[in-house]
Structure 1
Amino acid sequence: SMLPRLKPRCYDDLVIEVAIVRPGPIQGDMVHPYLRRRCGAEPVEYPSEEVREVLQRTLGVPIFQEQVMKIAIVAAGFSPGEADALRRAMGAWKRTGGLDPFRERLLEGMREKGYPDEFAQRIYRQMLGFGEYGFPLAHAASFALLVYDSAWLKCYEPAAFTCALLNSQPMGFYAPAQLVRDARAHGVEVRPVDTCASGWDSTLERRADGEPALRLGLRVVKSLSQSGADRLVAARAERPFASVQDLATRAALDRGDLEALASAGALASLSGNRHLAFWQVAATERPVPLGFATARGADLGEGRPLIPAPSEAECIAADYASLGLTLGRHPLALLRARLAAAGLSPASEVARAANGAPVRTAGIVLMRQRPSTASGVTFVTLEDESGQVNVIVWERVGSVQRRALIESRLLEVHGELQQQDGVTHLIARRLIDRSALLGELLTRSRDFH
């Protein structure tokens, strides 16, 4: 929720963005004063020209460790050596007594230089916040460079950006399902795992119009061994596979690898739907009948069984079970009629609701966060076929309804919508676990505490 409020316009804004979301500035009450001053809601005032020179870059709020050191020098009369000792105390994270030994020296020094007591106390409280972990400028600048590069790639090369993230899993807040869904929402064509086209890693393929498409790699198939995938890719490089039997023989895949590929729908170009793939995988264990010169001949000799194709719901369930994602419809699209009948609004309608409006919605839990700086508040991100909803669960609500908060894969939330500075949150009042509606869809949230 910080980005819509800060609205970074240049690289220097990203440096501040990186530094200000650390525990130090948060605990030191530096975040909201900076945001209010940035949007013009609060005047920027400096008690002296010396302080202005130190804090003008960050609108009068000390955000970087170097600024705290300089304030100690220009406002409290610290020597450079004393200021460096102050820096080391802030970096000790309270392990060696923190800033207590410096308190009187700082406050008295600022009084002697004529600074108001309110200013001195506020600066000291902000310094105490840095004892909870704050960034030096160089550290924040280095991170901001990565942020800039990543943002550029995501904006201008979304297929390559998503491909790289998928090949770097496991990592970060977002699971592959969310990465793929976001890429598709931004116009990237994502192609399925295919034993006739996929390598181990996800790759880029050229579309007819010259734009890149993202081909999912074999690495996303659960329970598939990398050694088996390597043999598959090597055998395919010699010549294309003619059938499932041909693939199994030439790549020397065992039953486990073959079933993993069948579960993932990765044999579709050779066998058709998943049910037929499983039937052909089972057939590979039988010896090839005499009189058939090729493995493909054996397949044709067996005939095609009259097995019904899996339903859309079965395909989506199988996708989540074997890949952790789906290229089909979002699971809640299948449940929308039922959710609507229960009076639950989709995310797209929640986003249009008025500030303070009562809201009832439900979504798959993407992640839960309970930062140590949030005073017991849990932040939950829900997703449905139309978008996402950010939910705030106060500690008193979460403690009473802890089981629904912690265990739900599909969570129903009743609450009040809060809109401020372009940021929308749903303040939860009631939580209901609706995971049973998902059936066998194996969704998983990312939980951070």
Structure 2
Amino acid sequence: NKAHGASYAVVAYDTAWLKYYHPVEFMAAMLNSYLGSLEQAAQYVRAAKDMDIEILPPDINKSFARFTTEHGCIRFALGAVKNVGQAAIKRLIAEREENGEFKSYGDFMSRICEYDINRKMIESLIRSSALDSFGVPRAKMLAVLEPFSNQLQNRRKMSSLGQVSLFELPGMEEEQPDDEPVYPNVSEFDQDILLAMEKEMLGLYITGHPLDACADDLNSFLTVTAQELTAYGEQDEEEELLIIPENLDQMDAIVGGQVVRRRNQYTKRNDLMAFLNLEDLTGSFELIVFPAVYAKYSDLLNEGQALLVKGRLTVREDEPIKVIAEELYDLTDLSKATRNKLTSFRRRKNLPLAHQTLDSQKTAKSEPADIPSENSYAGPPEESFAPAMDFGTEPGNPPLKENFAPAMDFGAEPSNPPPPEFPGSKTRNGQRGNTTLVIRWQGGTDEKALAPLRSALAYFPGDSRVRVYLERETRLLEPLSHGVYLDRETLALLSDRFGVENISVF
């Protein structure tokens, strides 16, 4: 078993090294490992974007069968486009490398006509944005696809039979028809339709997102995102590292997104309710709308509607985390009163903004001018636990209470004053933190027994102060020389390792 563990340790180290020093190449390789699954590939595309790696759209003149790196970015693979087969891709790339890039839509159609590539594949390439570099609106390319294909096939058939058309007679060469199709006078599709085409063909949005116009409002109000819900809902089958803290169930939350799917259902009392799939900028999740809320907000539950929702999380074993809706608002038409109401609710419940919770390295967007800043709020959370101990007490005082419970929800912002400055590492953005992690240690108190605890904490270097309560000796261990970086994932891992009843944050 030691040889087995050592081998996996080497693989883990090599993988981490590659991701850290060659992130673009690493993410391209990860995407290539899921070419056959649009949904899984979409998750890694979002992960790459979170790493500030730009994902370039598919391009008939730049893309290959697999995801490739291009000037520090990742070029989308033709093999990840729906209805595009590997054999056809090989022919396209061979033609491009042998005779140069495709110069126009007409040139592309004329050259691939020789390979009997089906129209459905060409239509998929158009819809996926792979032919946008030709500068012709997708609506026009789709409109001429069938007639121009027929024209090219007829010309090819006549050429193979050795027939001479009227335009090939002596003296009439100047009348030969153009290689470009005659485009009809049709308007380009609306932006939401173009994005829907990309989503259908690629599994995700590439050139934009329907919620881009609402991104500022989402960042200003969301307390949890689809990506975060998915992260808590998934569990490593082998290591079982991720857990769902019990206090997430029935936790208040503000979520938002676009309705992409709606399913109505009647209750036993014959009342109508709905299950909605909402998609935000990070992924999708399920929203449950019970009859009373359905009756009040039924006009906002249509597919394509952008919503901001105040509700509660519901956690069930072996099921993804879902959200129960209580109040719904049109995300594209938020009044000043609604904005103030939601912000007041979030602060009253001591709920941090999602983008602050998920990635503290990124600069959080500022609050609207008419709303006080986050740091100006000093009121205590309504549902937090009181601190279980005084950090200034001397060793030898009575032990912690038996109901040693977390003083706040995982990821919640503490309202207590920051602890005194202590020697240790700084945060990832260079600032000192104002949180303290307390761990109740029930094991031995010699250095050998404490080694696993120290090693685990050293794995998450950061700014938050750490205090260890030695239960056997009813005293606090001397402050550690380094702090830890606290986020929801770190807390989940530490809780799984040492027991959630032994972890507290102040």
> Shorter chain as normaliser: what TM range?
0.3 to 0.5
More helix by share: 1
